[in-house]
Amino acid sequence: MAGRRARKRGIGLAVLALMGLQTIAAIFFVGDVVTDYFDETTSIWNRPHLMLEALANVGLIGGLVVEALFLTHILRRHARAERALSVASGALQDVMEEYFSEWHLTPAEADVANFTIKGCSIAEIATLRGSAEGTVKTHLNSIYRKAGVSGRSQLVNLLVEELFHAPPAGDLALPRTAAS
């Protein structure tokens, strides 16, 4: 996870560096066109190279503007996705705690259930909890029995299904009546 974040940060810095280089190039080339324009006394229409340079500058600056707008859009979209993921993560935790309470799980069973739902193996759970694998298996059997499921996938499915059927957080929509 930390490696992925570092890679994303590196890509972000590379994009910003590239945009900085493009900005410097645009400033340089605009300055070049302006000095070329004032250096000669002939009409701009008689200097096709100057017109081409000016058009290239317009393209470079236009590309920079589009790139900045696109980057802004992507960053906003990423922020929205992060917020949604945070809400979903919190909602999953709330659903899990509600079910654990409903199933009357002991604190040890709730801990094992949390690790199980996160995808840890029995050996990993035993290591994380400092207990034997047999103890973890006993807790898992008790969890599955109390939840009325036969295994890990059904346990996870039960919680995910609950998330899909729960109303969105902060949903203030009024219930529909027969008259509406």
pLDDT in tens, 105-134: 999 999 999 999 989 999 999 999 999 999
Domain extent, residue 12, equals: 2-81
Query: Domain for residue 92, yes or no?
Result: no
Q: Does the pLDDT at position 13 exceed 60? A: yes
CATH number at residue 154: 1.10.10.10
Distance between CA 180 and CA 178 in Å, rounded? Answer: 6
Whether residue 108 is found in the same domain as residue 74 = no
Q: What average pLDDT does range 75-83 have in this prediction?
A: 86
pTM over 0.85: no
Query: Domain for residue 33, yes or no?
Result: yes
Query: Domain for residue 180, yes or no?
Result: no
pLDDT at 179: 45
Q: Does the pLDDT at position 46 exceed 90? A: no
Whether residue 69 is found in the same domain as residue 137 = no
pLDDT in tens, 130-163: 999 999 999 999 999 999 999 999 998 888 887 7
Query: Domain for residue 75, yes or no?
Result: yes
Query: Domain for residue 170, yes or no?
Result: no
Q: What average pLDDT does range 51-75 have in this prediction?
A: 91
Whether residue 111 is found in the same domain as residue 151 = yes
Q: What average pLDDT does range 5-26 have in this prediction?
A: 86
Tell which residue, 64, 52, 56, 50, has the closest CA to residue 22. 64
Whether residue 52 is found in the same domain as residue 107 = no
Q: Does the pLDDT at position 175 exceed 50? A: no
pLDDT at 167: 53
pLDDT at 82: 84
Q: pLDDT band at residue 48, thresholds of 50, 70 and 90?
A: confident
Domains contained in the chain, number: 2
Q: What does the mean pLDDT of the chain come to? A: 84
Query: Domain for residue 32, yes or no?
Result: yes
